[in-house]
Amino acid sequence: MKLAELRHRRVGVLMSGGLSCTAVGVWLAEQGVDVVPFVADLGQRVPFPPAELARVLGRSGPAARVVDLRAETAELAVNLARWQATHDGGYWNTTSGSRHTLVTGLAQPLRDAGCTVLVHGCVGGGNDEGRFHRYAAAHAPDLTVFSPWRHEWLREQFPGRREMAGYLRQRGLPAIFGDYVDYSVDGTLAGFSHDGGELEELDTPVSTVTPLMSTWPSAAREPGESVRIRFEAGRPVALDDVPLSALAVLTRLNQLGGRNGVALRSVVENRVNGTKCRGVYEAPGLEILGAAVAGLYQVMLDKAAVDLMGTLSRRLGRAAYEGRLDDPAARAAILGADLLAEPATGEVKVDLYRGTIALARVRAGVTPPGVRRQTRFAAGGHHWSTEEPALV
């Protein structure tokens, strides 16, 4: 698509704080394109909270529209924990999952604003470009997805991130955008990812990262804390006997996990395009939820169910990472994982201490058929049983 074509369309630009999408949106508006900036509130805080970002953008172009997608972000995060859907190295798919939330949550607001084009700022040939295209095909086939860096005329304008930052600075936007020339932060209330030229080197220590949700275990609070999480069919519904929404659960667990040093992961991931890349990820609330529901599954699911859940978890982790949660295979895996999670009702007490997550107690609900407890010491001690063993 050429610039002249864009000038005849109303264009919705996803401008939720990233350097490249901000530069593209401001530049297109300057070139006479009818741009409608959309700032999705996913719970991110950098470079600015969403409402403040909208005000900043409004000083340099069309007024931005803020769409609150925090509840949707939390719902997907809770499902990722329920499905145990991590990717390489235990990464909780918070960045990749947010692309699903952005497309499904912003498609109708774009239509309502009269937009026929959806613009993102993701690198051409990268993971996110594919995710946006796949989710748009599934949820917004009526919108044309415009990938800026596929077009030579935009690459000539912005050959690199340094040029983007310089352009925004010249247009009077805050200098903080320049902080992300060689360092990128992508975050939601579910978790933050840290990427950069220095971090891509394997000998760069993780300690160079400044946590945004957590703290280092050595600086965590003493003496640690505990929380009781109530689950129904694998979904968290209450903390310490207080019924809460998914958003409230995740917000509270982020606070608890963050001040107790949970948890930063250094991950070398296998990317969609076949390359490898290193990043650092933090998702304290999801780390706690994931450990707690895994403990409940150990108690409530039989051997075959645990084995199958593991298989489905791996498939869903990869599907979320690659932007394929709407593919038929992923939808089938979701149905299977949801079915397996149905018996997982109960309460799990979690102890948090300097980056560790310990399951202090699991109180399960009604034990499903096929799950039997064997008492080796409490009933009968070391006495031999004369009964025939049950067939397994």
Could you tell me which of 19, 12, 16 has the C-alpha nearest to residue 168?
19
Is residue 380 exposed (0-12), middle (13-18) or buried (19+ Cβ within 10 Å)?
exposed
Quote the percentage of the chain above a pLDDT of 90. Answer: 82
For 22, the 3-state DSSP assignment is: helix
CA distances from 227 to 254, 293, 392 (A): 12, 13, 36
Q: What SS3 class is residue 198?
A: coil
Longest dimension (CA), the chain: 87
In this prediction the pTM is: 0.92
Residue whose pair of structure tokens reads 């990128």 in the numeric block: 184
- Indicate the CATH number for domain 3-81+90-188: 3.40.50.620
Q: Which amino acid would we find at residue 351?
A: D
Residue 79 tokens, joined: 């499902």
| Cβ burial, residue 233 (10 Å; 0-12/13-18/19+) | middle
Helix/strand/coil for 299: helix
Q: How confident is the model at residue 391 (pLDDT cuts 50, 70, 90)?
A: very low
- Tell me: the pLDDT tens digits for 343-381? 999 999 999 999 999 999 999 877 776 776 666 665 555
CA 201, 207, 211, 214 dihedral sign is: positive
**Residue 377's pLDDT is what?**
61
Residue 392 in this model has a pLDDT that exceeds 50: no
Position 385 confidence tier, pLDDT thresholds 50, 70, 90: low
What would the mean pLDDT of 312-318 be, rounded to a whole number? 98
Class for domain 211-364, per CATH? alpha beta
**CA distance linking residue 90 with residue 106, whole number of Å:** 29
Structure tokens at 336: 């299977």
Spans of all domains in the chain: 3-81+90-188, 211-364
Distance CA 41, CA 16 (A): 8
Residue showing tokens 């990812």: 193
Q: Is the peptide bond before 223 cis (omega within 30 degrees of 0)?
A: yes
